[in-house]
A and B are shown apart, each in its own frame.
Chain A
Amino acid sequence: MRTHRTFTIALLLAPTLALGACGGSSDASETPAPEPLTTTTADQLEPAVVEPVDGIVAGTDTDLAVYGAIGDTTPAQMLPARTEFGSRRVLRVVGRYGTDDGWLEVLLPVRPNGSRGFVRAADVTLESTNLTVDIDLATKVLRVSDGDNGVLVETPIAIGSAENPTPTGDFYLTDILITGDEDSAYGPYALGLSAHSETLSEFGGGDGQIGIHGTNQPSSIGRAVSHGCVRVSNDIVTALANTVPLGTPVVIH
C-alpha cells in the first residue's frame, strides 16, 4: 500500500527547481581628508623637558619629516615609514619639548653614530618600554633589565675584534629579523641596532649596520672576533626577539 501511495505522489508532484541567487553589496567608505599639519614656532614652545623620556619610543606608519632644530619649517631629511628590511619605523626619544603641539628630540638610525634630530609630536605615536639592553664590552656580557625589576637576561657575548670594534654609545633596536635559517651565521633571529661600524662603511651589501644575532659558531662567544656585531647563543637571541620591542634602548660601553 505504501508503495502505491508513493508512486501516486511521485506522479502528482512536479519536480521543483530551487534557484539561488548571490548578491553582494559594497560599502563605499570614504577616507576622511587628512587634517592639515599644525605649525608651531619656537617662541611658542616651553623650553624645558616636560616629563621623563626614558623608554619613550616614537613610531610612525608614514614617511617622517626630521628637522634639524625646533621650529624649522623645512625638513632636514625624510625617513621612510619602513626600514630597509621592512620593519616598522621607530625612533628613540631623548628629549620632549612643548606640550600637545610640541617637538621630540630623537636618535636617528643613520651615520654618524649618535645623530639626533627633531620631529613634530603630532607626526608620531608614542610608545614606551621599561626594558633596556646593556652591553659591556670589557666583560663581554649582555644584560637585559626591566626597570626596577632587575636583570632579566645576563649572557656572555662575542664582540668586535680589535680591527673592527663594536661601537660604543646610546642606540636602540630598529629591526627584529627572522632569518628563516637557524644554521646561518646569524642564527634564527638578528636584531638590528641604530649603530653602525666605525671601520666598515659597508658589509655584505649593507651599510655596516650593527646587530645582535645568534651564531653557528657558538665557540666564538666570549671572544672579540666579530666584525662589530654582538653574537649571542641561538637560544638567547630567540628569547631576546620575543622579549625586547622595537625602540628598546641599547647602551654599548
Chain B
Amino acid sequence: MTGTTRILALIVGAVFGLGAFGVSYASTAYAFTTPAADLDVEIGIDPCDLQPEICDWDFPVDPEDPEDPEEPGVGPAGGADDYAPETTTTTVPTDGPTDDPTEDPDEPAGDDDVPAAEPEDAVQASPNFTG
C-alpha cells in the first residue's frame, strides 16, 4: 500500500468512524432525553397512575458521577435490603410546660371539656312520688 492509499484509508475510516459514533450518540441522547409524556402517548398509560409511589422515589447517587445532583441514601439502590424508609422527626418543645398554669394539677385532665357526671346510682326516670 502506498502512502497515498494509507492516507485515503485513514480519512475514510475517520469519516465513517465519526458517523457511527454520531449515530450512536444521537440515539442514546434521544432515549435519555425523551419526555415521559411522549412515551406515555405511545403506550397509552401513565406508570405513575399505576403506582404513584414509585414516582416519588429518589435514586441513589453514583459517588463517582459529578453530574448527579441527588443526595445518596434513599431509594432501592441494590435491593430491598438497601431501602431506607423515610422517617419523620417530631420536635418536642422543651422551653416549658404547655399546660394552663391556672389548672389544678390534681384535677383529671379535660374536666373542663366534658359535662358534669350524673350522681352515682342515679337513674333517669319519671317519679310518681306524692309531690
Mark A residues whose CB is within 8 Å of B. 1-7, 9-11, 13, 15, 85-88, 160, 164, 175-180, 185-186, 189-190, 192, 197, 200, 203-206, 208-211, 213, 226-229, 241-242, 245-246
Q: How many of B's residues come within 8 Å of A, CB to CB?
A: 29
Q: In the docked arrangement, what's the CA distance between A150 and B119, Å? A: 23
- Whether B128 and A206, one on each chain, are in contact in the complex, defined by CB atoms closer than 8 angstroms, is yes
B21 close to A (CB within 8 Å): no
Interface of A is mostly: mixed
Question: Beyond A85-B125, A229-B129, is A10–B34 a contact (Cβ under 8 Å)?
Answer: no
- Whether B54 and A10, one on each chain, are in contact in the complex, defined by CB atoms closer than 8 angstroms, is yes
Q: In the assembled complex, which residues on chain A have CB atoms less than 8 Å from the CB atom of B125?
A: 85-86, 175, 177-179
B92 close to A (CB within 8 Å): no
Which of B36, B59, B130, B131 meets A7, CB within 8 Å? B36
- Whether B122 and A7, one on each chain, are in contact in the complex, defined by CB atoms closer than 8 angstroms, is no
B86 close to A (CB within 8 Å): no
Q: In the assembled complex, which residues on chain B have CB atoms less than 8 Å from the CB atom of A87?
A: 121, 123
Tell me the smallest distance from the CB of B106 to a CB of chain A, in Å: 19
Question: Other CB < 8 Å A-B pairs besides A10-B50, A189-B119, 7 of them?
Answer: A11-B47, A177-B126, A178-B122, A209-B129, A211-B129, A228-B130, A242-B119
Q: In the docked arrangement, what's the CA distance between A228 and B83, Å? A: 82
Which of B32, B124, B129 meets A4, CB within 8 Å? B32
Q: Which residue of A lies closest to B34 (CB)?
A: A4
Tell me the smallest distance from the CB of A76 to a CB of chain B, in Å: 26
Tell me the smallest distance from the CB of B62 to a CB of chain A, in Å: 11
Q: In the assembled complex, which residues on chain B have CB atoms less than 8 Å from the CB atom of A160?
A: 130
Kindly list the 5 A-B residue pairs having the minimum CB-CB distance in the complex, ordered from nearest. A10-B47, A206-B128, A211-B129, A190-B127, A204-B128
Q: In the docked arrangement, what's the CA distance between A209 and B130, Å? A: 6
- Whether B127 and A213, one on each chain, are in contact in the complex, defined by CB atoms closer than 8 angstroms, is yes
- Whether B59 and A2, one on each chain, are in contact in the complex, defined by CB atoms closer than 8 angstroms, is yes
- Whether B55 and A227, one on each chain, are in contact in the complex, defined by CB atoms closer than 8 angstroms, is no
Q: In the docked arrangement, what's the CA distance between A54 and B53, Å? A: 73
Tell me the smallest distance from the CB of A80 to a CB of chain B, in Å: 14
Tell me the smallest distance from the CB of A27 to a CB of chain B, in Å: 30
Question: Beyond A4-B32, A4-B34, A7-B47, is A178–B129 a contact (Cβ under 8 Å)?
Answer: no
Q: In the assembled complex, which residues on chain B have CB atoms less than 8 Å from the CB atom of A242?
A: 119
Which of A176, A189, A203, A226 meets B128, CB within 8 Å? A203
Q: Which residue of A lies closest to B120 (CB)?
A: A245
Question: Beyond A7-B36, A7-B39, A10-B47, is A176–B127 a contact (Cβ under 8 Å)?
Answer: no
B44 close to A (CB within 8 Å): no
